[in-house]
Amino acid sequence: MLEAVNSCLSAINEFRVVATDTNGISMAADAERYVNESTRYFCAMGWPCNTRKAAKITPVWSGTEYIISIGQALPSTTIRIKGTGPDSHRSIVLRGTQAYDADNGTVNFGSTNQVFLDIAELLAFETLEHILQEEIVQHAAQRFARRMVGGQITDAYLSQEIATTDSLQPRGGLFPSKQLFAPPGQQQQQ
């Protein structure tokens, strides 16, 4: 995490720090928040290193209905889900901490049904594969620089770094989604 924070600080020509300032009010603490936000963003895309593929989930009785919720049927680190295998045709998403069947407008999955899901988990930055860490750092540094400096030259330089990283492993995890962030001059994907 320290190197990621220092990359963000370097993007705005700030001096490196020797320790993180988690929950602080320093520039380093702001940089760490950007790294954490970018980690959440990329983990939600679902990459091989943070996704459980085709997990067979059994709904749990809540007292009124059979539900799939984070901390019970789903891991506490769950950040995104989607139906897969025999359930790939279903629009199953997270609504708060519960799985929601958008096709049927319910959180009730029935007592005898097992549901197959791809489950993307929010993992600590340090536990992710190296190339994904690079993607996260580049994304965080550019967002951080945009907010702190807002200079076009800095932004263009950071966009080139992102393009270089993307050439090694193009963005786009296992979960199809709109790209929430696009370098200048590029349209957001629809």
**pLDDT digits 0-9 by tens, 21-69:** 888 888 889 999 999 999 999 999 999 999 999 999 999 998 899 999 9
Do 28 and 90 share a domain, yes or no? no
Chain centroid to CA 49: 12
Q: Which of 78, 33, 34, 30 is nearest to 55 (CA)?
A: 78
The pLDDT, as a whole number, for residue 15 is 86
In a domain, 178, yes or no: no
Answer whether 27's CB lies under 8 Å from 9's CB. yes
The more confident residue out of 20 and 171 is: 20
The pLDDT, as a whole number, for residue 92 is 93
At residue 112, the 3 state secondary structure works out as: coil
Answer whether 139's CB lies under 8 Å from 130's CB. no
Q: Which of 103, 180, 109 is nearest to 139 (CA)?
A: 180
pLDDT band at 178 (very low <50, low <70, confident <90, very high): very low
Its pTM stands at: 0.73
Do 76 and 103 share a domain, yes or no? yes
In a domain, 186, yes or no: no
pLDDT in tens, 78-108: 999 999 999 999 999 999 999 999 999 999 9
The pLDDT, as a whole number, for residue 165 is 55
User: Which residue segment(s) compose the domain that 115 sits in?
Assistant: 48-121
Round the CA-based radius of gyration of the chain to a whole number and report it. Answer: 19
In a domain, 94, yes or no: yes
What average pLDDT does the chain have?
A: 83
Burial class (CB in 10 A: 0-12, 13-18, 19+), 177: middle
pLDDT band at 180 (very low <50, low <70, confident <90, very high): very low
pLDDT band at 110 (very low <50, low <70, confident <90, very high): confident
Answer whether 7's CB lies under 8 Å from 145's CB. no
Structural domain count, the chain:
2
For residue 115, what are the CA distances in angstroms to 3, 37, 177? Answer: 40, 30, 22
In a domain, 73, yes or no: yes
